Amino acid sequence: MDRYRDLYEDSEWTDIQQVCLNGHLITEYAVSQPSTKRKHCPDCGEVTLMACPKCNTDLRGHRHIPGVVVLATVSVGKICPDCGSPYPWAEAARAAAREWVGSLSALTEASKEELGRLLVDIFSDTPRTRLACHRLKKFLSEMPADEAQPFVETLLDAAGPSASEQLRNLRG
Protein backbone atom coordinates (compact mmCIF):
# COMPACT_ATOMS: atom_id res chain seq x y z
CA MET A 1 0.00 0.00 0.00
CA ASP A 2 1.12 3.53 -0.81
CA ARG A 3 0.98 4.73 2.78
CA TYR A 4 3.90 2.42 3.56
CA ARG A 5 6.10 4.56 1.36
CA ASP A 6 6.57 6.62 4.55
CA LEU A 7 8.83 3.79 5.68
CA TYR A 8 11.42 4.56 3.01
CA GLU A 9 11.05 8.31 2.36
CA ASP A 10 13.66 10.49 4.00
CA SER A 11 12.03 13.79 4.90
CA GLU A 12 8.78 14.85 6.51
CA TRP A 13 6.15 16.52 4.35
CA THR A 14 2.47 17.39 4.40
CA ASP A 15 0.13 16.00 1.78
CA ILE A 16 -2.91 17.91 0.49
CA GLN A 17 -6.46 17.19 1.58
CA GLN A 18 -9.37 17.24 -0.86
CA VAL A 19 -12.79 18.14 0.54
CA CYS A 20 -16.16 18.83 -1.11
CA LEU A 21 -17.96 22.16 -0.67
CA ASN A 22 -20.22 20.50 1.90
CA GLY A 23 -17.23 19.42 4.00
CA HIS A 24 -17.07 15.71 3.11
CA LEU A 25 -13.48 14.43 3.16
CA ILE A 26 -12.52 12.93 -0.23
CA THR A 27 -8.84 12.19 0.42
CA GLU A 28 -5.91 13.34 2.53
CA TYR A 29 -3.43 11.92 -0.01
CA ALA A 30 -4.11 14.18 -3.02
CA VAL A 31 -0.38 14.41 -3.83
CA SER A 32 0.93 10.95 -2.92
CA GLN A 33 -2.12 9.07 -4.23
CA PRO A 34 -3.65 11.27 -6.97
CA SER A 35 -5.98 8.44 -8.00
CA THR A 36 -7.95 9.04 -4.77
CA LYS A 37 -8.95 12.55 -5.94
CA ARG A 38 -12.48 13.21 -7.27
CA LYS A 39 -13.95 16.15 -9.20
CA HIS A 40 -17.25 15.70 -7.38
CA CYS A 41 -18.21 14.29 -4.01
CA PRO A 42 -19.64 10.76 -4.10
CA ASP A 43 -21.86 11.63 -1.10
CA CYS A 44 -23.48 14.87 -2.27
CA GLY A 45 -22.28 15.61 -5.82
CA GLU A 46 -20.73 18.97 -4.90
CA VAL A 47 -17.46 20.10 -6.46
CA THR A 48 -14.29 19.44 -4.51
CA LEU A 49 -11.44 21.71 -3.51
CA MET A 50 -7.88 21.37 -2.27
CA ALA A 51 -7.22 24.95 -1.17
CA CYS A 52 -8.93 27.73 0.78
CA PRO A 53 -11.13 29.63 -1.72
CA LYS A 54 -10.27 32.94 0.02
CA CYS A 55 -6.47 32.77 0.21
CA ASN A 56 -5.67 29.76 -1.97
CA THR A 57 -3.56 28.03 0.69
CA ASP A 58 -3.53 24.21 0.41
CA LEU A 59 -5.77 22.23 2.73
CA ARG A 60 -3.40 20.31 4.95
CA GLY A 61 -3.60 16.57 4.45
CA HIS A 62 -1.71 13.60 5.79
CA ARG A 63 1.61 14.33 7.49
CA HIS A 64 4.17 11.93 6.05
CA ILE A 65 6.84 11.10 8.64
CA PRO A 66 9.70 8.81 7.52
CA GLY A 67 9.64 5.48 9.32
CA VAL A 68 6.24 6.11 10.88
CA VAL A 69 2.93 4.81 9.61
CA VAL A 70 0.22 7.19 10.79
CA LEU A 71 -3.20 5.63 10.34
CA ALA A 72 -5.24 8.44 11.91
CA THR A 73 -7.22 10.56 9.47
CA VAL A 74 -6.71 14.34 9.43
CA SER A 75 -10.05 15.91 10.28
CA VAL A 76 -11.68 18.49 8.02
CA GLY A 77 -11.00 21.98 9.38
CA LYS A 78 -13.59 24.71 9.89
CA ILE A 79 -11.45 27.83 9.81
CA CYS A 80 -8.51 28.47 7.45
CA PRO A 81 -5.36 28.77 9.60
CA ASP A 82 -3.79 31.05 7.01
CA CYS A 83 -6.45 33.74 6.41
CA GLY A 84 -8.85 33.07 9.30
CA SER A 85 -11.94 32.71 7.09
CA PRO A 86 -14.41 29.92 7.71
CA TYR A 87 -14.27 27.27 4.97
CA PRO A 88 -17.38 27.06 2.72
CA TRP A 89 -18.89 24.10 4.65
CA ALA A 90 -18.44 25.90 7.98
CA GLU A 91 -19.92 29.09 6.51
CA ALA A 92 -22.94 27.05 5.30
CA ALA A 93 -23.34 25.48 8.76
CA ARG A 94 -23.17 28.95 10.36
CA ALA A 95 -25.90 30.17 8.00
CA ALA A 96 -28.04 27.11 8.78
CA ALA A 97 -27.63 27.69 12.53
CA ARG A 98 -28.56 31.39 12.20
CA GLU A 99 -31.60 30.53 10.08
CA TRP A 100 -32.68 27.93 12.63
CA VAL A 101 -32.44 30.41 15.49
CA GLY A 102 -34.79 32.73 13.59
CA SER A 103 -37.42 30.02 13.29
CA LEU A 104 -37.33 28.59 16.82
CA SER A 105 -41.00 28.70 17.81
CA ALA A 106 -40.41 27.91 21.50
CA LEU A 107 -38.38 31.09 22.14
CA THR A 108 -39.45 34.71 22.49
CA GLU A 109 -38.12 37.31 20.06
CA ALA A 110 -35.80 38.66 22.78
CA SER A 111 -34.43 35.15 23.48
CA LYS A 112 -33.86 34.53 19.77
CA GLU A 113 -31.94 37.78 19.54
CA GLU A 114 -29.75 36.87 22.51
CA LEU A 115 -29.17 33.37 21.18
CA GLY A 116 -28.21 34.86 17.80
CA ARG A 117 -25.56 36.98 19.52
CA LEU A 118 -24.18 33.93 21.39
CA LEU A 119 -23.49 32.15 18.11
CA VAL A 120 -20.42 34.29 17.37
CA ASP A 121 -18.66 32.86 20.44
CA ILE A 122 -19.82 29.34 19.60
CA PHE A 123 -18.54 29.48 16.01
CA SER A 124 -15.03 30.43 17.09
CA ASP A 125 -13.13 30.03 20.33
CA THR A 126 -13.08 33.27 22.26
CA PRO A 127 -12.79 34.19 25.95
CA ARG A 128 -16.63 34.22 25.94
CA THR A 129 -17.14 30.71 24.54
CA ARG A 130 -17.69 29.05 27.93
CA LEU A 131 -20.19 31.72 28.88
CA ALA A 132 -21.99 31.36 25.54
CA CYS A 133 -22.28 27.57 26.03
CA HIS A 134 -23.58 28.08 29.55
CA ARG A 135 -26.28 30.48 28.34
CA LEU A 136 -27.10 28.21 25.43
CA LYS A 137 -28.01 25.47 27.92
CA LYS A 138 -30.83 27.64 29.28
CA PHE A 139 -32.30 28.16 25.80
CA LEU A 140 -32.02 24.47 24.98
CA SER A 141 -33.99 23.62 28.12
CA GLU A 142 -36.83 25.82 26.82
CA MET A 143 -36.92 24.00 23.49
CA PRO A 144 -38.69 20.69 22.85
CA ALA A 145 -36.15 17.81 22.85
CA ASP A 146 -36.92 16.85 19.26
CA GLU A 147 -35.86 20.35 18.20
CA ALA A 148 -33.03 20.95 20.70
CA GLN A 149 -31.12 17.86 19.63
CA PRO A 150 -30.92 18.47 15.86
CA PHE A 151 -30.25 22.15 16.60
CA VAL A 152 -27.18 21.15 18.67
CA GLU A 153 -26.03 18.87 15.82
CA THR A 154 -26.19 21.84 13.43
CA LEU A 155 -24.24 23.98 15.89
CA LEU A 156 -21.62 21.22 16.08
CA ASP A 157 -21.04 21.49 12.32
CA ALA A 158 -20.12 25.16 12.79
CA ALA A 159 -18.66 25.28 16.32
CA GLY A 160 -15.04 25.97 17.24
CA PRO A 161 -13.05 23.26 19.10
CA SER A 162 -13.82 24.39 22.63
CA ALA A 163 -17.55 24.93 21.98
CA SER A 164 -17.70 21.54 20.19
CA GLU A 165 -16.35 19.81 23.26
CA GLN A 166 -18.86 21.53 25.52
CA LEU A 167 -21.75 20.90 23.10
CA ARG A 168 -20.90 17.20 22.98
CA ASN A 169 -21.18 17.10 26.77
CA LEU A 170 -24.57 18.82 26.54
CA ARG A 171 -25.71 16.20 24.08
CA GLY A 172 -24.95 13.60 26.78
Count of residues touching Zn ion (by CB under 5 A) = 13
Q: Is 41 a binder of Zn ion (CB under 5 A)?
A: yes
CB crowding 77-111: b at 16 or more within 10 Å, else e? bbbbeeeeebbbbbbbbbeebeeebeebeebeeeb
Q: Is 26 a binder of Zn ion (CB under 5 A)?
A: no
CB 168 within 8 A of CB 132: no
Mind giving me the DSSP string for 40-74? B-TTT--BEESB-TTT-PBPEEEEEBTTB---SPP
2, 12, 43, 142: which one contacts Zn ion (CB under 5 A)?
43
Q: Is 60 a binder of Zn ion (CB under 5 A)?
A: no
CB 17 within 8 A of CB 60: yes
Task: Please state the closest distance from residue 148 (CB atom) to Zn ion, in A.
Answer: 26
Task: Please state the closest distance from residue 53 (CB atom) to Zn ion, in A.
Answer: 8
Task: Please state the closest distance from residue 23 (CB atom) to Zn ion, in A.
Answer: 7
- Restricting to residues 61-90, which ones interact with Zn ion according to CB under 5 A? 80, 82-83
Contact residues for Zn ion, defined by CB under 5 A: 20, 22, 24, 41, 43-44, 46, 52, 54-55, 80, 82-83
